[in-house]
């Protein structure tokens, strides 16, 4: 039922696209004066997730995007994936990467009207780390042992061990710096903000929309250009697309791959695509048969025609992967030959593993996001000729979370881009710092040790070697079928200028974005 | 009559209490808790435990339920577990939106369906009757996500763009803006609901037109117009009133698809969200509002019966 409804909506949107006259927004080439850039309302759409604005608790991309406008971090991640100053002007590592000292920019104002000081950073971090806060990310902001204010504008983090990527980890959405007075009532943080970001909160209707307005005392003078930004949830992607084409919205944050060609075909619109690190993976629990035998895992990996799968699921928008999570978006990506499909080899591996007459297993997939179900169904068909009989069970996300996720059964996982290779590798493989959903760490202590070594040294070459070895081990022996990374897709009208899509697509930096005079809401 | 009203009031209250118990129990039968959903794929065993404790989900079920009842009795409708805001603040907007959508839709349905049903009954068996029945069947047999999407593509697409594709505007933004957002969803819902009411009006009226008192009126020489409008319609409307009362409940909480297609924040989407997030306080209040609408609308329909047909007396 759901499938046919979605199909209908897609098809009807496609038909309408053909029927519509081409309306062009002329984008004359000219130089723009600073004054021309000032003002206007930018309207962005998303399809889900706007329950809370609490940076300590939010877990969806749309929420991360909104808090990026309201708050500042110590550091920020550029579209080129460089870590640059935000609230912190500079930072230094001591004790081989175990102690990190951040110097704060002076005179930065919170929206509540006082200066950002080291105590705010300390209070924010301590609140995240307090188990009572139950922050989902307690484990994702580095092995912090202690955080202290050295003076008004200096913060020192002492870690449990050396950690090379610490400044990059401070870019993640949970590490937004909240004014101390906002941390007293964490419930209230869901709908109020205590940030120092380029915009301040004007209106928030949870589940529907959030509107933010320019913060006049933002530390980058003259920024932002926009007067206000609205993020609105359109649960139905086909409506979202129509609203965009009718210029009721100016930007679609995350375009589904089947609607993306229609953005490309819309005159005057910019279709944006950037390689990222987002992926879905088949998780094969290696602590029990049949996947405890690497020949079975390898056989399944050999059945996948990665190019065909990427084309079918994401319209070819993405890059092929090698069954490990380090895409080219990360600094430590290792160039290894991509595994090519080989059904003969898959069959003989299965035979060697004692499954000559075929192997059946159940594979679970949550219905959201759609990539999970698609991957499961396509894998079922691709693996069948090699002797795999996969029984795909699709279930609602709430049931998936409660009954399947991280429960040691085969299922389709889904992960967004992280700031560093370390972050995604630890999350996926490490039994303590992450989930080890594949139950792989106990049988591969040397591989896990490689990851620990790599994060603990500041020597870039040594890190590169460790990560390269790990990627090879994971490709050949790892617990995941990870066929491709999807490109992040977005769309905006030509009158939206100077927006760059980040590989971490929720990092929607609007500080330099401006609207030309022909934008529908340039005035008011 | 007064005794009847009090009795109905008490039975409505009892129904609502029973519903709150059922909803509460049913939510706890579903796998996972609000903590599971809030933490999502970032959960760790420690954070789950801490959050369940913070939300009070680690207490025995009866204690949780009684705590909720205690709150409601003292005017505290509770906090949404997932949105961390007072339930009343979240529900208020959706309730206003749903009420506006339901009211306009019902008015549209009544204005369209009762005249059409009347004409069909008077002309039964003729081509006009056939055309009205076929037309209203078309409306009901096309699912609302199809008609909704087609309306959006044609009337809100870039070529015509007579109305906004979706979203809502508060009344404070002006009557025009408020109405313009409601036109398409009201149209989509009217298309679906008209058929029921046309059918009920038509069959109700046909039956009445065959009754002895109408024959008497005809024999007395009353005009056909007077017979239909003055004598028959009042009685013939009884079945339609029941359907309209049920439609009101449906419009207040059962139109998830239309609300999603038109990105309209109403009660239907809110209830779905509350279920998906195991947000019991939010779910309880939302379901009770919808249940109250159903029961009160039915009660209203029964009162209307008595007014339409003076032979009906409630004791």
B72 falls in which pLDDT band (50, 70, 90)?
Answer: confident
Averaged over A119-126, what is the pLDDT?
Answer: 97
Closest to A479 (Cα-Cα) out of A280, A277, A298: A298
At A446, the pLDDT band (50, 70, 90 cuts) reads very high
Encode pLDDT of B134-168 as tens digits. Answer: 999 888 899 989 999 999 999 999 989 999 998 99
Instruction: Let me know if residue A261 belongs to a domain.
Output: no
Closest CA to B288 of B37, B16, B12: B16
A162 in the same domain as A40: yes
Would residue A359 count as lying in a domain? yes
Asked if pLDDT for residue A329 goes beyond 80, the answer is yes
Q: Do A392 and A415 share a domain, yes or no?
A: yes
What is the mean predicted confidence (pLDDT) over A353-369? 95
pLDDT (tens digit, 9 = 90+) per residue, A22-60?
Answer: 333 444 445 666 678 999 999 999 998 899 999 998 889
The total of structural domains in chain A comes to: 2
Select the residue from B27, B29, B157, B260 to test the A interface by mutation, using most A Cβ atoms within 10 A. B157
Q: Alpha carbon of A16 to those of A266, A489, B151: distances in Å?
A: 12, 21, 11
CA distance A7 to A28: 38
Q: Are residues A390 and A502 in the same domain?
A: no
CA distances from A243 to A402, A501, B101, B144, B264 (A): 35, 21, 20, 19, 13
Question: Is there a domain that residue A15 lies in?
Answer: no
pLDDT at A123: 97
What is the pTM for the complete model shown?
0.90
Residue pair A454/A422 in contact by the 8 Å Cβ criterion: yes
Report the percentage of chain A scoring pLDDT > 70: 93
Domain that holds residue A378: 276-486
Tokens linked to A270: 């910019």
Residue A10 has a pLDDT of 54
What pLDDT does A89 receive?
97
* A3 Cβ neighbours under 8 A, 6+ residues apart: none
CATH of the domain at A194: 3.40.190.10
CB-hemisphere CA count at 13 Å for A271?
A: 15
Residue ranges of domains in chain B, CATH in brackets: 2-73 (no CATH), 88-308 (1.10.3720.10)
Give residues 164 to 193 of A whose Cβ lies within 8 Å of B. 187, 189-191
Question: How far is Cα A474 from Cα A430, in angstroms, rounded to an integer?
Answer: 13
What phi and psi values does residue A61 have, to the nearest 5 degrees?
A: -55, -40
Q: What percent of chain A has pLDDT over 90?
A: 86
Q: Are residues A220 and A303 in the same domain?
A: no
- Summarize pLDDT for A56-110 with one digit per residue, the tens: 988 899 999 999 999 999 999 999 889 999 999 999 999 999 999 999 999 999 9
For position A386, what pLDDT does the model report?
96
Q: Among the listed ranges A3-17, A247-261, B235-249, B301-315, which one has the minimum average pLDDT value?
A: A3-17
> Helices (H) and strands (E) in chain A — how many of each?
15, 20
Best A4, A17, A173, A246 member to test B by mutation, with max B CBs in 10 Å, is A246
Closest CA to A428 of A417, A419, A418, A437: A437
For chain B, the residue count is: 315
User: Can you give the pLDDT at residue A5?
Assistant: 54
Specify whether A511 is located in the same domain as A462: no
A208 to chain B, any CB pair closer than 8 A? The answer is yes
Q: Which pLDDT score is estimated for A388?
A: 98
Residue A409 to chain B, least CA–CA distance (Å):
15
Tokens in use for A448? 């896990």
Q: What is the mean pLDDT of chain A?
A: 92
Q: Are residues A304 and A426 in the same domain?
A: yes
B158 contacts on A by Cβ (under 8 Å): 20, 23, 245-247
Residue A470 lies in a domain: yes
CA distances from B161 to A250, A265, B153, B157 (A): 16, 19, 9, 5
| Residue range B28-39: mean pLDDT, rounded | 89
Which residues of chain A does B48 touch, with a Cβ-Cβ cutoff of 8 Å? 134
CA proximity to A57, closest of B89, B30, B50: B50
Taking the C-alpha atoms of residue A394 and residue A415, their distance in angstroms, rounded to an integer, is: 18
Q: Which of A114-123, A185-194, B84-93, B153-162 has the highest mean pLDDT?
A: A114-123
A390 sits in the region (left: phi over 0; alpha: psi -120 to 50; else beta) called beta
CATH number at A367 reads: 3.10.105.10
Beta bridge partner(s), residue A46: A233
* E strand or H helix at A237: helix A237-245
Q: What are phi and psi of B129, to 5 degrees?
A: -60, -45
Q: Does A3 touch chain B (CB under 8 A)?
A: no
């Amino acid at each position: 039922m759901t499938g046919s409804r979605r199909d209908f909506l897609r098809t009807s949107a496609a038909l309408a696209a053909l029927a519509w006259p081409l309306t062009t927004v002329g984008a004359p080439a000219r130089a723009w004066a600073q004054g021309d850039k000032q003002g206007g309302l930018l309207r962005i759409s998303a399809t889900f997730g706007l329950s809370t604005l609490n940076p300590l608790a939010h877990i969806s991309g749309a929420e991360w995007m909104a808090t990026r406008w309201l708050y500042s971090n110590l550091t920020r991640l550029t579209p080129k994936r460089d870590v640059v100053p935000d609230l912190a002007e500079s930072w230094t590592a001591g004790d081989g990467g175990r102690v990190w000292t951040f110097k704060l920019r002076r005179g930065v104002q919170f929206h509540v009207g006082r200066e950002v000081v080291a105590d705010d950073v300390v209070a924010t971090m301590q609140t995240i780390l307090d188990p009572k806060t139950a922050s989902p990310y307690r484990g994702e902001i580095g092995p912090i042992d202690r955080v202290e204010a050295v003076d008004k504008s200096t913060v020192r983090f002492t870690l449990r061990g050396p950690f090379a990527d610490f400044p990059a980890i401070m870019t993640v959405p949970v590490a937004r710096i909240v004014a101390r007075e906002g941390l007293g009532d964490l419930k209230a943080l869901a709908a109020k903000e205590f940030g120092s970001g380029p915009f301040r909160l004007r209106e928030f209707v949870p589940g529907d929309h959030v509107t933010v307005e320019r913060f006049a005392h933002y530390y980058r003078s003259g920024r932002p250009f926009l007067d206000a930004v609205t993020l609105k949830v359109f649960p139905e992607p086909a409506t979202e697309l129509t609203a965009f084409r009718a210029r009721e919205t100016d930007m679609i944050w995350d375009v589904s791959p089947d609607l993306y060609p229609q953005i490309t075909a819309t005159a005057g619109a910019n279709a944006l695509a950037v390689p990222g690190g987002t992926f879905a993976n088949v998780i094969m629990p290696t602590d029990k048969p049949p996947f405890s035998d690497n020949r079975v895992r390898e056989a399944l990996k050999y059945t996948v025609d990665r190019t065909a799968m990427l084309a079918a699921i994401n319209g070819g928008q993405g890059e092929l992967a090698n069954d490990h999570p380090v895409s080219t978006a990360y600094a430590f990506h290792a160039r290894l030959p991509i595994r090519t499909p080989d059904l003969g080899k898959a069959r003989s591996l299965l035979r060697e593993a004692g499954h000559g007459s075929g192997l059946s297993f159940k594979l679970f997939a949550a219905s959201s996001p759609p990539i999970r179900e698609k991957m499961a169904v396509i894998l079922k068909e691709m693996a069948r000729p090699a002797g795999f009989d996969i029984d795909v069970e699709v279930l609602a996300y709430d049931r998936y979370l409660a009954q399947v996720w991280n429960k040691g059964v085969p299922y389709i996982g889904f992960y967004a881009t992280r700031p560093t290779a370390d972050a995604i590798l630890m999350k996926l493989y490490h039994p303590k710092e992450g989930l080890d959903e594949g139950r792989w760490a106990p049988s591969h202590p040397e591989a896990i040790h490689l990851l620990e070594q790599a994060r603990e040294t500041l020597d870039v070459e040594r890190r590169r070697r460790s990560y390269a070895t790990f990627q090879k081990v994971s490709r050949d022996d790892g617990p995941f079928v990870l066929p491709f990374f999807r490109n992040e897709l977005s769309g905006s009208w030509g009158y939206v200028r100077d927006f760059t899509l980040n590989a971490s697509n929720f990092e929607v930096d609007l500080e330099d974005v401006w609207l030309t005079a022909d934008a529908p809401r340039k005035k008011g | 009559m007064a005794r009847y009203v009090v009795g109905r009031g008490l039975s409505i209250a009892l129904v609502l209490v029973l519903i709150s118990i059922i909803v509460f129990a049913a939510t706890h039968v579903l796998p996972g808790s609000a903590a599971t959903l809030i933490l999502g794929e970032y959960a760790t065993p420690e954070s789950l435990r801490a959050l369940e404790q913070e939300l009070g989900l680690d207490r025995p079920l009866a204690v949780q339920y009684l705590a909720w009842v205690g709150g409601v009795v003292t005017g505290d409708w509770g906090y949404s577990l997932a949105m961390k805001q007072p339930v009343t603040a979240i529900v208020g907007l959706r309730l206003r939106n749903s009420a506006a959508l339901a009211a306009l839709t019902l008015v549209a349905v009544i204005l369209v369906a009762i005249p059409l049903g009347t004409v069909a009954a008077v002309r039964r068996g003729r081509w006009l009757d056939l055309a009205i029945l076929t037309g209203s069947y078309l409306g009901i047999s096309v699912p609302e996500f199809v008609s909704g999407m087609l309306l959006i593509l044609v009337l809100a697409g870039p070529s015509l763009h007579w109305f906004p594709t979706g979203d809502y505007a508060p009344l404070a933004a002006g009557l025009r803006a408020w109405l313009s957002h409601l036109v398409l969803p009201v149209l989509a819902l009217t298309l679906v609901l008209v058929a029921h009411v046309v059918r009920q009006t038509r069959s109700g009226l046909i039956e009445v037109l065959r009754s002895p008192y109408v024959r008497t009126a005809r024999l007395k020489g009353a005009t056909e117009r007077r017979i239909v409008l003055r004598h028959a319609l009042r009685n013939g409307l009884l079945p339609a009133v029941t359907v309209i009362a049920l439609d009101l409940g449906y419009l207040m909480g059962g139109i998830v698809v239309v609300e999603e297609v038109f990105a309209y924040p109403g009660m239907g989407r809110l209830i779905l969200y509350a279920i998906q997030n195991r947000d019991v306080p939010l779910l309880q209040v939302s379901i009770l509002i919808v249940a109250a609408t159903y029961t009160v609308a039915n009660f209203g329909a029964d009162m209307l019966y008595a007014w339409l047909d003076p032979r009906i007396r409630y004791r």
